[in-house]
Structure 1
Amino acid sequence: MKKWLRQLFMREKKNPEIYTPLYFEKKLAVNMWTDQEVDDFRKALLRTINWVETLTREREITTGTYKTILRRTNPLIADVPLYNFDAEYLAWNHNPADERRFYGDLLQQMMQQRPEVRDQYLPDIGSMGRILSFETSISAGDGAPLEASQGFVDLNDTPPVDTWFYLKSNYDHGTSYACEQVLFCWIPKAFENVMQSAINVEILDSYRWVDENDRLLYQQLQKHLPQS
């Protein structure tokens, strides 16, 4: 672990609203989503909301560490589990730089475990949690987000696997270029603060809240969510 880099950047941004990341100019995402993409996104989101609610009901949320709370699933890559829970710092058993192509396979494994759900009325999705986008190819690997979030994100800066629900390629993340791959995650209300703690110390701007960053998608999504 790059301890000197972690120590250098562990101080939180004093004003995240005006913070400019280390390399990129802060701007909002501009993306066009088809109706089919939004519908697929919505269905995956609803399944994940229900899945995460089930997991958090079954396990008490305690402070101190969030290493396992939303990592009930430990999917396999070439018959080897993704996570090494015995390591001092929560890490993958694989080099994420070499395994980017496996994100799709990992997500497919996890979605197969999540029950299909009937459309349900969500009067205010914002009261339940928030959607996070994470640029999978960008990570300082300094451990600052892991420590700040008490293990909610791992050493690769990746949010817990049970929160993942959608992947999109060539996505404008608001970083002046189209990202190779962006992972969307559902962050329940109970974990917003620890996720925000990770965002506050992450220096490459790989995290964004969708309701703030991709407002067009968020508006389209709200139109597609079941109504009463």
Structure 2
Amino acid sequence: MNFIRIIQETVTWIEKVNPDFEVNLYRSQELSPKSYYHQIPDYLKGNVLNDLISKRSKLLQTARVELIPIPDLGDYGRIMFFEANETVLDGAPEDVSAFFIDIGDAPPWDTWLAIGSQLNAINFHRAGHELNSDLLIAWVPKAQYYYAQQACEVALLDNFAWPANEFISDEFNAVNSLFQKPDNIIQPEERIDFENILKQSKIIMSEIEENSKSYYEKLLSENSKKPFWKRMFKR
């Protein structure tokens, strides 16, 4: 597992392929696990993450998208930990995060990087600081800092955290700075189109519930516009 490259691909996907949160809430059809994270059985979580990572990597390679350089990653966001299995499904984090967090206390699947067991397998953290095996590690774009922090503050089970980078193995010093709480988290000045976000969230929830290829085809056929991926990489 080349975790540093996975971070590069994730940030590149969000910044160059699916950069507009209000289009699909960073939940692209191409990468959809077709299930909420907390609903995925623990023994399948690693497979789901591997499949998503592989799809994202292949799509970027096929489109010949240049990856954002490692030294520049910190300009675009930070990494956060989500204990999405520990959820009461109260909807509070979802509400205050403008749907960046879903009903199951997980961030958008476009941002998923790894689970705890995968990082433990590559000795990402120093001995004695291993992660919970089903912990979800994900990217938080700079534009979502405020909303991710809001979710942290209202979560009943305290299941969101900005990680502490002092426990990361020296081998991963190149991305060490990404594992810390951002400075100066303030409410964005720009206005968010909450009506459109609510509309998109309802579509995404319906897609997950329907969970069928025929539904996706029907949804696309009803939309006169091409999917964002085809619009961006028209040959």
2:103 equivalent to 1:155: yes
Q: Using the TM superposition, give the Cα deviation of residue 124 of structure 1 relative to its aligned residue in structure 2, in angstroms.
A: 4.7
2:149 equivalent to 1:201: no
Encode CA deviations 1:77-100: one digit per residue, 9 max, x unaligned. xxxx32xxxxxxxxx4x9x35623
Letter in 2 for 1:167: I
Retained in 2: the 8 A contact 1:138–1:204? yes
2:102 equivalent to 1:145: no
Two-structure CA RMSD over aligned residues (Å): 3.2
The alignment partner of 1:221 has SS state of helix
Letter in 2 for 1:202: A
> What TM-score comes out, normalization by structure 2 length?
0.57
Q: Using the TM superposition, give the Cα deviation of residue 109 of structure 1 relative to its aligned residue in structure 2, in angstroms.
A: 2.1
Encode CA deviations 1:156-212: one digit per residue, 9 max, x unaligned. 00100000011222969xxx99623211111111111111111111122221113xx
* Higher RCO (CA < 8 A, seq sep 6+): 1
2:28 equivalent to 1:75: no
The alignment partner of 2:87 has SS state of coil
Corresponding residue number in structure 2 for 1:102: 44
Corresponding residue number in structure 2 for 1:51: 13
Q: Using the TM superposition, give the Cα deviation of residue 129 of structure 1 relative to its aligned residue in structure 2, in angstroms.
A: 0.3
CA distance, structure 1, for counterparts of residue 100 and residue 140 of structure 2: 11
Q: Using the TM superposition, give the Cα deviation of residue 215 of structure 1 relative to its aligned residue in structure 2, in angstroms.
A: 2.5
Corresponding residue number in structure 2 for 1:5: none
Corresponding residue number in structure 2 for 1:113: 55
> What TM-score comes out, normalization by structure 1 length?
0.59
CA distance, structure 2, for counterparts of residue 127 and residue 215 of structure 1: 20
Count of aligned residue pairs for this structure pair: 161
The alignment partner of 1:106 has SS state of helix
Retained in 2: the 8 A contact 1:132–1:184? yes
Corresponding residue number in structure 2 for 1:20: none
2:82 equivalent to 1:129: no
CA distance, structure 2, for counterparts of residue 129 and residue 167 of structure 1: 19
Corresponding residue number in structure 1 for 2:195: none
CA distance, structure 1, for counterparts of residue 85 and residue 17 of structure 2: 28
Instruction: Pick the structure with more strand per residue.
Output: 1
CA distance, structure 2, for counterparts of residue 134 and residue 216 of structure 1: 17
Retained in 2: the 8 A contact 1:70–1:162? yes
The alignment partner of 2:116 has SS state of strand
CA distance, structure 2, for counterparts of residue 166 and residue 109 of structure 1: 11
Between 195-204 and 114-123, the greater mean CA deviation after superposition: 114-123
Letter in 1 for 2:161: R
Retained in 2: the 8 A contact 1:75–1:106? no
For residues 189-228 of structure 1, the aligned pairs below 5 Å read 189-210=142-163, 213-217=164-168, 220-223=171-174
The alignment partner of 1:111 has SS state of helix
2:9 equivalent to 1:41: no
The alignment partner of 2:133 has SS state of strand
Retained in 2: the 8 A contact 1:75–1:109? no
Q: Using the TM superposition, give the Cα deviation of residue 148 of structure 1 relative to its aligned residue in structure 2, in angstroms.
A: 0.8
Structure 2 counterpart of 1:187, from 123, 135, 140: 140
